[in-house]
Amino acid sequence: MPYTLPADVDERPVVIDGAGTLGRRIAAVYAGGGSDVRIFDLAAQQREAARDYVEEHAAETQQTLGLHPARRGRVEICDDPQEAVAGAWMVIEAVPERIDIKTEVFGDLDRMAEPDAILCSNSSSIPTSQMIVKVEHPERVLNTHYQQPPELNSVELMSCGETDEGVIDALIEKIPQYGLVPFRVRRESDGFIFNRIWAAIKRECLMVVEEGVAPPEDVDAMWQIFTRAGIPPFRLMDRVGLDVVLAIEEHYAAVRDGIPEGPRKLLHEYIDQGRLGVKSGRGFYEYTD
């Protein structure tokens, strides 16, 4: 029998495992859409910062995504992963973009989560097929790649190769309830759909700056003239975190021929100065608040 959502899905929490830049944004989306959310992170400071983020941004998240649930979801933080996942219908990991960490996390989640819980990875570039070595039930594992919600509200869903198609169908039906727009990735792809396109744009932007052709501010200003789009490339990279941008680019370089070194060299220069983007107060731009 293919997977179907449990009858009590709306009474059960969603769990976020890893509460950094993206984990806390995803938490705000689900709480804003009316689901109770539990947040686990190894670092107490990150758990607390994520809860504060959700409380501060819940109304704004609801407004951006057009969410009007009967009540906003409760947000709880947990220091014990076993307690965090008890009763949850879906667990979304947003731990660092490292295959060793994600492999351990999925092994643990598979042992601890409810038998009917869906286990999702928010990885930006690593297919879940590479994270399931320690998983006994891969049919409930998949990539669900969120961008920067609430503004960038697409979610790409990709099978781990053994995912029950019913899981993907059910999520495609369910997550628009949270103002999200799902897209099915039709075959395994390093970097999914939009991130592959975005990687090429980012790479060329970084090369322009690394070669001294233009500063980040000029690239962003020209981007806005040409596309009229919301967040220009260097501002968005600062929001993502330059360490995360580098990890993604390193992953592409490991799996593809011909990826130039300049973008990684430039990212290293910024990271070595502690300029990680918005999260460290400085990246390509300075952030004072």
Ligand X SMILES: NC(=O)c1ccc[n+]([C@@H]2O[C@H](COP(=O)([O-])OP(=O)(O)OC[C@H]3O[C@@H](n4cnc5c(N)ncnc54)[C@H](O)[C@@H]3O)[C@@H](O)[C@H]2O)c1
Q: Which parts of this chain interact with ligand X (CB under 6 A)?
A: 17-23, 41-43, 46, 94-97, 101, 105, 122-124, 146-148, 240-241, 244
CB 61, min distance to ligand X, A: 15
Q: Which of 68, 196 has the CB closer to ligand X? A: 196
Separation of alpha carbons 215 and 209, rounded Å: 6
Residue nearest to ligand X (CB): 20
Q: Six-digit token pair at 279?
A: 């999260």
CB 245, min distance to ligand X, A: 8
Q: Which of 5, 131 has the CB closer to ligand X? A: 131
Separation of alpha carbons 30 and 177, rounded Å: 9
Q: Six-digit token pair at 58?
A: 């819940």
Q: Is 142 left (phi over 0), alpha (psi -120 to 50) or beta?
A: beta
CB 18, min distance to ligand X, A: 3
Torsion of CA 69, 72, 76, 81, to 10 degrees: 10
Partners of residue 90 on adjacent β-strands = 14, 118
CB 28, min distance to ligand X, A: 13
CB 85, min distance to ligand X, A: 12
CB 119, min distance to ligand X, A: 14
User: Long-range contacts for 197-202 (Cβ within 8 Å, ≥24 apart)?
Assistant: 199/248, 199/249, 199/252, 201/233, 202/233, 202/237, 202/245, 202/249, 202/263
Q: Which of 67, 91 has the CB closer to ligand X? A: 91
Closest by alpha carbon to 130, among 97, 108, 152, 153? 97
Q: Which of 68, 256 has the CB closer to ligand X? A: 256
Q: Which of 9, 78 has the CB closer to ligand X? A: 78
CB 135 within 8 A of CB 128: no
Q: Which of 46, 153 has the CB closer to ligand X? A: 46
